[in-house]
A = this chain, B = another copy of it.
Amino acid sequence: MNSFMDDFPQDSRTDTEAPAPGPLSGITVVDLSRVLAGPYATMVLADLGARVIKVERPGEGDDSRGIGPFKDGKSAYFTSINRGKQSIALDLKDAGDRQVFEALLQRADVLVENYRPGTIDKLGYGWPALHERYPQLIYAAASGFGHSGPDSRKAAYDMVVQAMGGIMSVTGHPGGPPTRVGTSIGDITAGLFTVIGILSALHDRRDSGSGRFVDVAMLDGQIAILENAIARYAVTGEAPGPLGARHPSITPFAAFRCRDAHIVIAAGNDSLFRALCDVLGLPDLPGNPRFASNNARSENAEALHTVMEAQLETGDAATWLARLDEAGVPAGPLQDVGEALAHPQVRARNMAIRTAFEDGTPLTAAGNPVKISGFDDPATRPKAPALDEHRAAILAELGLASGTEQA
């Protein structure tokens, strides 16, 4: 283990299974989803207090149990996303297991799945069939392309939707090779929109009494986060390209080289720009018509960058950051993942939490960024489940004997 883990606050909660109380306490989620988009959504729900029962296929379980990085043969990837969930292995083609699954649905508020559209219908568990049998059940499907449209039944992974959705076309350096966003933003965005759909449907259900079908496509999510790249295309008719490390229409808003390292500076308005120029010892710059307004600065971004960097390269990053901080100019260091997790603000906000592998071995993971008054925001989260770990407890709760019942 690294030294960061060693000074982590201790808490005994990693070896309990009860979720911390949250605004979603009392909500039960049956989770058929695998790998990332669906499991990320149910992680967010679990962090907010929902009970998540992960239904895995017997034998191997969630594919991500087999995806690295590993520690002692267990996936840290799986563990970080599935902390605090329960697991039962069910073969949805087996009559006894189908009875268990249906008993779970009978008591559930939400079903989450991220199969390719059409797949689950073959098992008799598509939305139309389930809505008829469980009219209050909210059915959330996260898929690559969604449950409608000509490409609906195609499979997609994060890489495919990052490429097709346009975000790669605006990420990277002009003339440089294709650049993927370094995390699976295709899955994660879809996961967040799935949570928003589920919570909206829960809100609606209080009045309508009816469950809803929530249909979120990873590709749709990529379009939804294109932000002003769409506005630029719509206004000019020209597709924007990558801009390296600067913002397209706010300037200066970029990474700059100091003597020893890069820093970022975001002087988003005229008064911040004046404060910045004072720090840099360039007090005449704001009076120059080429740099007098944000729009002028954006048109002359490269010239401004050159002038600023010539000054910044005369000093060290830490010195400049201290001066910028004192002047109230938003700026910061380029931190790697270890530096980010060790940052005092990140620690103070419980954004680096401790969870555990299925055997109790501790693991650092991201915390819950949704802080809500009146609810716990623990620095630890319950461990991830072993495959089928909760079978006996769940069967007992459902009043079913283990493996002997038939539908």
A189–B331 Cα distance when bound, in Å, is 20
A399 at the interface (CB under 8 A from B): no
B224-A351 in contact (CB<8A)? yes
Beta-carbon contacts under 8 Å, A181-199 to B? 181-185, 188-190, 192-193, 195-197, 199
User: What B residues does A374 contact at CB under 8 A?
Assistant: 204, 208, 210, 212
Interface presence of A260 (CB below 8 A): no
C-alpha gap A289/B225 in the complex (Å)? 40
- Tell me the minimal C-beta distance from A91 to chain B in angstroms: 19
Contact B234 A363 (CB under 8 A): yes
Chain B residue numbers with a CB within 8 Å of A161 are 332
Q: Mark A324-343, 1 if CB is under 8 A from B, else 0.
A: 01001011111111111101
Looking at A11-19, A99-107, A239-247, A277-285, the stretch in contact with chain B turns out to be A239-247
Q: How many copies does the complex hold?
A: 2
Which of the residues B23, B163, B230 comes within 8 Å of A333, measured between beta carbons?
Answer: B163
Q: Chain A: interface residue count, which band?
A: 35 or more
CA distance A197 to B40 in the complex (A): 16
Binds B, one of A65-73, A300-308, A389-397: A65-73
CA distance A164 to B263 in the complex (A): 10
Segment with Cβ contacts to B, from A51-59, A117-125, A250-258: A250-258
In the complex, per-residue mask of A360-394: 1 if CB is within 8 Å of any chain B CB, else 0: 00011111111111110000000000000000000
Partner of A216, one of B184, B230, B264, B370: B370
**A366 to B127 Cα, complex, angstroms:** 27
Contacts of A373 in B (CB 8 A): 127, 212-215
Q: A223-B346, A295-B68 are in contact. Are A254 and B216 (CB under 8 A)?
A: no
26 A–B contact pairs at CB < 8 A?
A: A1-B234, A4-B237, A5-B234, A68-B249, A68-B295, A76-B234, A81-B227, A147-B371, A149-B345, A159-B266, A160-B264, A167-B183, A172-B179, A179-B245, A180-B255, A204-B372, A204-B374, A214-B371, A216-B370, A219-B351, A221-B369, A222-B340, A223-B341, A223-B346, A238-B338, A239-B338
